[in-house]
Amino acid sequence: MDPPTLSFILVKSKYLLFITLLVALSAFRISAQEIAETKLLINILTDLQERYGYQFNYASETIENIIIPEPNKELTFEENIKYLEQQTGLQFSTLPNKFISIKKSSAELCGYVRDKDTGEPIAFCTVQAGRVSALTNETGFFKIDINNENETLYIRHLGYKTLDRSYAFFKKEDCGVIYLIPNRQQLSEIILYDYLIRGIDKLDNGSFEIDFNQFSILPGLIESDVLQSIQAFPGIISINETVSNINIRGGTNDQNLILWDDIKMYQSGHFFGLISMYNPQITQKVKLQKNGTPSSYT
């Protein structure tokens, strides 16, 4: 009984080995077949152009490095197009004269842009996603088509901080509200020198100072007269066109306080106000205060 039993065991082992090799070869054949059937999209498009006479228009980066299973040879051209759309997620559009346009599938996003502080809509706001952009209307509404769900939308407007929003932020069934924060900037203090002409400075307290050591004649004047020169300042005129009778901020000439080395002067001109009584040749500095006058001057 021992020899037959041994023979049965050997036969069974050979049978199992044969079955194992057969399964391995079948799996290898299926795997090899699947590898052979995958193909670059550009090669599939070239084959369809030669078979059906259609021309495909696309950007090189749109179909770059896309590998899909090769479609069945028995499919019609329309069925091939539907198959490619399902496999790649790209959009195939039929054009006249047997042309097919290929582009990435776009998603439509919309929203309302408003001021965060006031809630008012912001018109003509720029919404940009890659190379695509749109503007908001008078109600702050915008609508934009994006080609990639990974795109980031940038919302910008003059006077507001630039805001970025991802695709996940937007609701497909409803347009959301986006609030922009005003961009407030505090400017540094500006001190203005050489006001109107060299030698005239505007001081920090709002007064004006004329330094006759650097002062030159204003355009239209024949000499650097003190009272005639200050009529070039805003808010100072002479209603009777005289030199000495000047009117400051709508006041009369007798309301002006004129000090010469802190001495109050009651007369400011000669010959009916046509000539100023202050000699510019001996005057060194002139200080003019139109508003914000210290209380010490009563």
The CATH number of the domain holding residue 99 is 3.55.50.30
Q: What average pLDDT does the structure give for the chain?
A: 78
Backbone phi and psi for residue 14, each to the nearest 5 degrees, phi listed first: -65, -40
204 with 293, same domain? yes
Which residues neighbour 73 within 8 Å (Cβ) at sequence distance 6 or greater?
A: none
On whether residue 100 sits in a domain, the answer given is yes
Would you say 276 and 244 are in contact if contact means Cβ atoms under 8 Å apart?
A: yes
- Output the pLDDT for position 195: 62
pLDDT tens digits, 198-243: 777 777 777 777 777 776 666 666 567 777 777 777 788 887 777 7
- Output the pLDDT for position 28: 44
Distance CA 78, CA 222 (A): 92
Using DSSP's 3-state secondary structure scheme, residue 144 falls into: strand
Say what percent of the chain tops pLDDT 90.
Answer: 14
On whether residue 23 sits in a domain, the answer given is no
**Final residue of a domain: which of 132, 148, 180?**
180
- Output the pLDDT for position 123: 94
Residue-number span of the structural domain to which 171 is assigned? 107-180
Number of domains composing the chain: 3
Q: How many CB atoms lie within 10 A of CB 284?
A: 8
**Final residue of a domain: which of 104, 122, 155?**
104
Cα 65 off chain centre by:
33
Q: Model pTM greater than 0.75? A: no
On whether residue 55 sits in a domain, the answer given is yes
Chain length of the chain: 298
133 with 99, same domain? no
Q: What DSSP letter does each residue of 117-128 carry, written as one string?
A: TT--B-TT-EEE
Distance CA 63, CA 75 (A): 22
Nearest to 286 by CA among 258, 266, 246: 258
Q: Residue ranges of the chain with pLDDT lower than 50?
A: 1, 6-11, 28-36
The CATH number of the domain holding residue 126 is 2.60.40.1120
